[in-house]
Amino acid sequence: MTGPAAPPPVTARQRKVFAILMLTQLIATLDNQIVATALPTIVGDLGQAEHFSWLVSAYVLAQCAVMPVSGKLGDLIGRKRVMIASLCLFSIGAVGCSASWSMSSLILARLVQGLGTGGILVTVFGMNADLFPPAQRARYQSYLSFVFVFGSFVGPTFGGALTDLVGWRVIFLPTLPLALLAIAGFAVLVPRIVTGRQPVIDYAGALAIAMTVTILVIWTDSLRLFGSFLAPESLFLGIAAGLGLLLSAIIERGAAEPVLPPELLAKWNFDFLSVATFCSGAVTIGLVTYHAYFLQMAHGLTPAQSGLFFIALTCGVSCGALLAGQLMSRDWHFTFPLRLSLIWGVLTLGVFSLLPGGTPIWQLVAVFVAQGFANGLAMNALVFGAQVTAGEGDIGAATGAITLMRTIGCSIGIAVYGSVIAVGLSGVALPEGWDASAITPALLRGLPAAERADLVGHYSEIFAALYRVAAFLALLGFAAACLIRRPAR
């Protein structure tokens, strides 16, 4: 009996295209991470701190809207066109962010940039699947994860330093020349691929899904927006979200080329993977911004100092991603690193909830490394699991669907965490004329010692509640991952 055939050798063209894919992954990662440490300063400068979560949610919601469409369009018309269009949108949004004059204009520009980022994130992994067979795919996806690690390592530190030295408007510009280089690389190196499938675009399904996700995210923020989930506005949104889900299902069942193929959603393994992905997105990507907020407001660090802690986080991510990639390339089922990621996340998030203000630096570093390890374990497992669960003809749709679920989880997680902070801040007593929601890290450091210690204590309690919510979501994801069945050997 002979073993499985060896995969074909990697060609020079494949290496060049993959290098451009790595550059594109770096662009998307840098954009998210550079901004993370500057958000408290941006909010303090432009005001309207009550919209902090929406500054992030608008960016993520835009990704949600475009991800399933980008994945399906890649299957229908080729991923080269989708990638170049996404990079152009991203660049336009970056210029708009830098020129923003108010919180509303910044949110709008981030929304445009999010449309580009969503297309980039889906198409990168779709192109990787086109380039390499399954036997090689997990290994190359782990290389993409290392690009994420590098971007996460450089981004927060670079963004924090730029914010302190030059100002927050500059942080949106470093990715522009990289985006232009990537556009040129794809135009020259990637041939136009004719798929042979009629490009019938499911606009109705994409619109229904995008509207449903948007309504759902707003509904999850009802506590902050309306004061209660039992408020008439909240109840209306809840009913609207349910009707939107029903309408989306009806449209997708009748569509010639559905954005989310019903046969894919009919697979129990894919459904449980989607739930686990949702929870993973909420406790990994969704917490990135709040980690920076936690360090600056509950521990009094500067944006530049808090950015340095992301080095510890990304060291953990690199170890977790490397281990997961090695395991899956050696025929370990993707559920093993996924389950380990989520249960490890439950433990580390529980530790975060117990950290008081003034915690020694080395303890903070150790917990960030541990959390990064949990995040890294899931990075490759989610997308690889979706691609092996789907058929070859629906790799783009499956990648788009699972990336969408991770992004929805991130967006809803951000809204929930924002509600936790808003409710916590509503009980903070400050001197007359002070607004707790408008306090920046610099202003916090300038307070008298007694007032600063009191406010840091309040923020520590708020973030303890936030991290307990995140730990519960990780536990829910672990339960879903345990229900995914492995194929019989």
Burial of 242 (0-12, 13-18, 19+ CB in 10 A): middle
- Which residues, in sequence order, are CB contacts of 394 under 8 Å at separation 6+? 75, 261, 264
Q: Among 250, 276, 307, where does a domain finish?
A: 250
Helix-then-strand count for the chain, H and E: 19, 0
Compute the Cα dihedral for 418, 420, 421, 425 and give only its sign: positive
More confident residue, 264 or 185: 185
Q: Are residues 337 and 451 in the same domain?
A: yes
**Residue 73: DSSP 8-state:** H
What pLDDT score does 35 carry? 74
Instruction: Reply yes or no on whether the pLDDT at 123 is more than 70.
Output: yes
Q: Give the structural domain span for 244.
A: 205-250
User: Do residue 242 and residue 380 come from a single domain?
Assistant: no
CA Rg, the chain, in Å?
Answer: 22
With pLDDT > 70 as the criterion, what percentage of the chain qualifies? 83
CA-based nearest residue to 164, from 31, 303, 297: 303
Task: Answer whether residue 427 shows pLDDT above 90.
Answer: no
Say if 167 falls within a structural domain: yes
In a domain? residue 157: yes
What is the number of other CB atoms lying within 10 angstroms of the CB of residue 435? Answer: 12
- Same domain for 217 and 336? no
Number of structural domains found in the chain? 2
Are 390 and 470 in a shared domain?
yes
> Is residue 194 located within the same domain as residue 220?
no
Of 30-39, 64-73, 387-396, 398-407, least confident by mean pLDDT is 387-396
What is the rounded CA–CA span in Å between residue 34 and residue 172?
8
Q: Are 116 and 88 in contact (CB under 8 A)?
A: yes
* Residue 39: inside a domain: yes
Residue type at 361?
Answer: I
Report d(CA 423, CA 426) in Å as an integer. 5
Predicted pLDDT of residue 346:
94
Q: What is the mean pLDDT of residues 349-375?
A: 86
Q: Look up the CATH number of the domain holding residue 61.
A: 1.20.1250.20
Round to whole Å and give the CA distance between 331 and 193: 31
What is the pLDDT at residue 291? Answer: 84
Residue type, 97: C
Model pLDDT, residue 475: 95
Is the CB of residue 40 less than 8 Å from the CB of residue 164?
no
Question: Are both 356 and 214 inside the same structural domain?
Answer: no
Q: Give the mean model confidence (pLDDT) for residues 70-80.
A: 75
Residue 327 covered by a domain: yes
Residue 361 lies inside a defined structural domain of this protein = yes
Mean pLDDT of the chain: 79
* Count of C-beta atoms within a 10 Å radius of residue 29: 25
- Mean per-residue pLDDT for 377-394? 75
| Token pair recorded at residue 269 | 């393994």
Total residues found in the chain within this entry:
489
Q: CA dist 228 to 7, 220, 224, 465, 468, Å?
A: 57, 10, 8, 18, 20
User: What is the mean predicted confidence (pLDDT) over 61-86?
Assistant: 78
Of 432 and 105, more confident: 105
DSSP string, 330-389: TT--THHHHHHHHHHHHHHHHHHTTPPTT--HHHHHHHHHHHHHHHHHHHHHHHHHHHHH
Contact 58, 161 (CB under 8 A): no
Q: Contact 98/54 with Cβ under 8 angstroms?
A: no
Residues 133 and 102 placed together within one structural domain of the fold: yes
Identify whether residues 143 and 93 lie together within a single domain: yes
The set of residues, in sequence order, having a beta carbon less than 8 Å from that of 99 and lying 6+ positions away, is 109, 169
For the ranges 14-28, 63-77, 181-195, the one whose mean pLDDT is highest? 14-28
Segment 217-223 long-range contacts (CB within 8 Å, at least 24 positions apart): 217/57, 217/61, 217/408, 217/411, 217/412, 217/415, 218/415, 220/412, 220/415, 220/416, 220/419, 221/53, 221/57, 221/415, 221/416, 221/418, 221/419, 222/419, 223/419, 223/422, 223/423
Report the C-alpha gap between 179 and 176 in whole angstroms.
Answer: 5
**What's residue 1's pLDDT?**
44
Highest mean pLDDT among 27-36, 92-101, 300-309: 92-101
Residue 326 shares a structural domain with residue 455 = yes
Q: How far apart are CA 129 and CA 396, in angstroms?
A: 9
Residues 171 and 237 grouped into a single domain: no
pLDDT for the residue numbered 489? 45
Instruction: Identify whether the C-beta of residue 94 lies closer than 8 Å to the C-beta of residue 146.
Output: no
Angle subtended at Cα 447 by Cα 441 and Cα 451, rounded to the nearest 5 degrees = 110
**What do you get for the CA distance between the two ends of the chain, in Å?**
17
Residue 365 located in a structural domain: yes
In a domain, 471, yes or no: yes
Q: What span, in angstroms and rounded, lies between the C-alpha atoms of 347 and 336? A: 17
Buried/exposed code over 43-63 (b: 16+ C-beta within 10 A; e: otherwise): bbebebbbbbbbbbbbbbbbb
Tokens of 468: 């307990």
Residues 85 and 214 in one domain: no
Question: ∠186-406-37 over CA atoms, to 5°?
Answer: 80
The pLDDT of residue 214 is 78
What integer pLDDT is reported at residue 153 of this predicted model?
Answer: 65
**Average pLDDT of span 415-441:** 70
Ranked by mean pLDDT, which of 182-186, 195-199, 396-400 comes out on top? 182-186
- Which residue type, as a one-letter code, is found at position 223? L
Question: Of 224, 250, 276, which residue constitutes the final position of a domain?
Answer: 250
Is residue 432 situated within a structural domain?
Answer: no
Same domain? For 409 and 370 the reply is yes
Asked whether residue 50 carries a pLDDT value surpassing 60, the answer given is no
Mean pLDDT within 137-156: 72
Cα 456 from Cα 482, distance rounded (Å):
39
pTM recorded for the entire structure:
0.70
Instruction: Tell me which of 223, 250, 277 is where a domain ends.
Output: 250
